[in-house]
Amino acid sequence: MKTIRVRITAEELEAKRIAEILERAFEDDGNPVTIYEASPDGRIWSAEILLFDMEPDEASATVRDRVGADAFAAPLEAEELPDINWVEKSLEGLKPVRAGRFIVHGGHDRDKVVPGAIGLEIEAALAFGTGHHGTTAGCLEEIDRLLSLREYDGILDLGTGTGVLAIAAALKGRQSVLATDIDPIATKTALENARLNGASHLVKGFTANGMEDRRFSLYGPFDLVIANILARPLMKMSKSIGEHMTATATLVLSGLRVEDGPRILFAYRCQGFVLDRRREKDGWLTLTLVRGRKLA
């Protein structure tokens, strides 16, 4: 069967919007739409759709017809793909992955959660966070370690994506976690995933840009914040994050390239944090910082 991939490349939020439009336009056909990070800094994303049994030109025209020619300005790229089993391929991307005591898996792999492990069933939809990325895995390992050491009074997952980290912390610590994201689709996905994991009584969430929102004061101050966002927004947010945290808080930061480490440490040192632990995975850095004390 001839498979044509139509791909549209854009900025992250624009690519998500395009993927949504595509998904709605083709939902009755059951065509998969995927969204993925294309550049190492995570700024350029693509939305793509697979169409079958047509030529590339026809596939581009079909996409334009269904979504309306001016729905998006970004150019379309259509190419024929080698003969691959796409169902198998897409399931591969969601293969169960282990990080600390957590096993992140899709709905079809519940039986892969071995005794002693904590299963996190994640439906990625249009949000980031299946556990395969070095940043998510680094945060999961830290959540496992930190919540084995003690309880935290007030936990926030800032930039929750699929909610994978919030759900992990809620299930591991058996306590409430606030999950927020700038993207309403991510917030919705996170709350749906919390329900899927029997954690909706523990995970609450709302949509907000950074921590400039009065609702954070209702839930905070936070004793543990996990923020897997990129270095630049984390630098900009250092003051507001610090203001909403307790005097002896722990902060896990990820989404950082190894070279971002020193300037992030400097920015958060100004908020009273010192380095407790660093983890590197596939060139991505996860830093755990503490305020007012050193962990054992």
Ligand X SMILES: C[S@@+](CC[C@H](N)C(=O)[O-])C[C@H]1O[C@@H](n2cnc3c(N)ncnc32)[C@H](O)[C@@H]1O
Binding residues for S-adenosyl-L-methionine: 136, 159, 181, 228
Nearest CB to ligand X, comparing residues 56 and 233: 233
| Tokens coding 273 | 């944090």
Helix-helix angle 12-26:56-67, to 10 degrees: 90
Do the beta carbons of residue 181 and residue 159 sit within 8 Å? yes
**119, 154, 173, 210: which one binds ligand X (CB under 6 A):** 210
Burial (0-12, 13-18, 19+ Cβ within 10 Å), 22? buried
CB nearer ligand X, residue 181 or residue 276: 181
143 touches 172 (CB < 8 A): yes
Applying CB under 6 A, does 183 fall inside the site for ligand X? yes
Rule CB under 6 A: is residue 155 a binding residue for ligand X? no
End-to-end distance of the chain based on CA atoms, in angstroms? 59
Give, in order, the Cα–Cα distances in Å from 237 to each of 183, 187, 268: 17, 19, 10
Min dist. Cβ of residue 16 to ligand X (A) = 8
Hey, what are 96's tokens?
């169960």
The distance of closest approach from Cβ of residue 257 to ligand X in the complex, given in angstroms and rounded to an integer, is 13
Task: Assess 209 for contact with ligand X (CB under 6 A).
Answer: yes
Q: Which of residues 221-260 bind ligand X (CB under 6 A)?
A: 228-229, 233, 255
Identify the CA nearest to 106 among candidates 118, 88, 94.
94
For residues 78 and 147, which CB has a smaller minimum distance to ligand X in the complex? Answer: 147
How far apart are CB 140 and ligand X at their closest, in Å?
Answer: 8
Helical packing angle, 164-173 and 134-149, nearest 10°: 20
| Minimum distance of ligand X from residue 252's CB (angstroms) | 10
Site pattern 119..148 for ligand X (x: CB under 6 A): --------xxx-----xx--x---------
Sites of contact with ligand X (CB under 6 A): 127-129, 135-136, 139, 158-161, 164-165, 181-183, 186, 209-210, 228-229, 233, 255
